[in-house]
Amino acid sequence: MSQRPTVRYAFGVVVLFLSVWAIALLYWRLAGRTPSTRDLVLVGIALPLLVITAFAGLRTGTMPAPASSAAGPPATAATSSPADDGESASTLSVLDSSLRVPAGHTTDDVATVARRGTLVDLHDRLKRADGSRIFAREDGMISLEDFDESLLPPGSAEKLDDEHWRALMLAGDALDDLLSRHATAGDAMRSAADAVPPVELHVLLPARWREVAPILVAWLDGRVARADWHPGVTAAQTHLVTHPAEALAVLDELNRSLNQNPLPNRHIVLACDSWLSESAVNILDRLGNLYDRDHVDGMIPGEGACALLVAPRGNRASAPAPGIHRIAFATKHDDQPIERLLDDARRLADDADVKVESCALVSDVSQSARQRNEIASAISATWPAADRSGHDLHLGLANGHSGAVLTLGAVAVAARHCLKASQPAFVVTLADPLSRAALLVTPPRDAAVDSTPTA
């Protein structure tokens, strides 16, 4: 909050006192009068205070009356619904995905680990300043020795830390994996592939990497260009995300814009992140943000990458595809934010037949006590009579915190679940205590929807 009004008022008070004193001294001097102690107190202190009090009363009396609060105090959670723009009935197809997180490199593997409730353990290498080990989990399939520095802009390597290199390697692997199923490299079938519009690439990076973001995106663009994919891939559009809910906001904006202006282009939304470096851990340690048994609401460093291939529904997908609907978004939380978000997300779906009772749930909830308590309370309130064991997947438990990666990962896992179980699923992010969001993922329209949650 800006402190300019406070400084301005203080300056005004000082000026008022000095003005009154100057006028009084001038009067006494011209009148040839020596002020008594009583004069000094009345004119030097009481009179300026009286003027200030009168001015404040006058100002209050002329201010416009506040809006009526008969309905009670304003809610602490400001939930905004995309329905306000008149386009709530919009659906974006999830054609495919690729996921790289510590718990696995396929959505099925990641879902299986989440269903088991596996938790992150102490890391072998990363430690606090006092030498104690921290809770963290890295992707064991990558090695920094394999990082290709030749794709970096000249002279930029020294600006990057281990966390940047690791995130880029995971992002490159996820991107290659996804494109290998939907494009061809080199000259193979080039003429046929070039008749298809290029794939548009959107890269989501954490806002804390703002200064090095151009370097990271240049590396990814270079990797794509070197592979020479057909159809082509456009230069990446960069999105800096402050909190995980903004990842769903990027998808929601794509959903809105593509349904408003239908084009045949497909889009890849790619997120990458990593906290697995000594410098990142040192910062979290100094801020007191690391999770431990004495700080159960702290953060567990994680890493990963997730790529989603999306297009407007009806984009001639080669196979029926799950659809994601408009998001329900809350900027602050109150006592029951998640239940309300789930209900808002269901109402924003363009399929009126979807019932909350038939939905699964995938979230980015981690070992944080706050997150676990909130999601448990929401599930209990939303499905009070149901046995939800095995039906709700919380990806952060086994992977730690990786921001937008797990949020998109939850969409990927939910979409896969829709295909396998023919069952709608909510995606919820509440990794950030003040910015959370939810959306609904539904099976292809020609799929028979199962009304029973499936593990």
- Beta bridge pairs of residue 309: 96, 268
Q: What is the 3-state secondary structure (H, E, C) of 169-192?
A: HHHHHHHHHHHHCCCEECCCCHHH
Side-chain-facing half-sphere of 225: CA atoms under 13 Å: 11
What confidence score (pLDDT) does residue 53 get?
Answer: 67
Please list the pLDDT of the chain residue by residue as tens digits (455 residues).
444 444 455 666 666 677 777 787 777 677 666 777 777 767 667 676 776 665 555 444 433 333 333 333 333 333 444 444 544 568 899 999 999 999 999 999 999 999 999 999 999 999 999 999 999 999 999 999 999 999 999 999 999 999 999 999 999 999 999 999 998 866 555 555 566 889 999 999 999 999 999 999 999 999 999 999 999 999 999 999 999 999 999 999 999 999 888 888 899 999 999 999 999 999 999 999 999 989 999 999 999 999 999 999 876 655 789 999 999 988 765 555 688 889 899 888 866 678 888 899 999 999 999 999 999 999 999 999 888 877 899 999 999 999 999 999 999 999 999 999 999 999 999 999 889 999 999 999 765 555 444 44
What confidence score (pLDDT) does residue 9 get?
Answer: 55
What confidence score (pLDDT) does residue 338 get?
Answer: 86
Name the residue ranges covered by the structural domains of the chain: 4-58, 79-442
Q: Is 63 helix (H, G, I), strand (E, B) or coil?
A: coil
What confidence score (pLDDT) does residue 190 get?
Answer: 58
What totals of helices (H) and strands (E) does the chain contain, helices first? 13, 16
Helix (H) or strand (E) holding 165, with range, is helix 162-180
What confidence score (pLDDT) does residue 1 get?
Answer: 42
What confidence score (pLDDT) does residue 219 get?
Answer: 98
In 10 A of CB 98, how many CB atoms? 25
CATH topology of domain 79-442: Peroxisomal Thiolase; Chain A, domain 1 (3.40.47)
User: The tokens of 293 are what?
Assistant: 């048994």
Contact 267, 250 (CB under 8 A): no
Residue at token pair 């009068």:
33
- Beta bridge pairs of residue 206: 241
Side-chain-facing half-sphere of 181: CA atoms under 13 Å: 15
Contact 326, 439 (CB under 8 A): yes
Residue 115: partners with Cβ closer than 8 Å, 6 or more residues away: 390, 393, 455
* Dihedral of the alpha carbons of 35, 37, 40, 46, in degrees to the nearest 10: -140
- Residue 115 has φ and ψ, to the nearest 5°, of -65, -30
Helix, strand and coil percent figures for the chain, each rounded to 5: 45, 20, 35
Residue 355, CA distances (Å) to 160, 174, 382, 384 in order = 48, 34, 11, 15
CA–CA dist 435, 78 (Å, integer) = 10
pTM beyond 0.75, yes or no: yes
The closest of 335, 360, 352, 380 to 421, measured between CA atoms, is 360
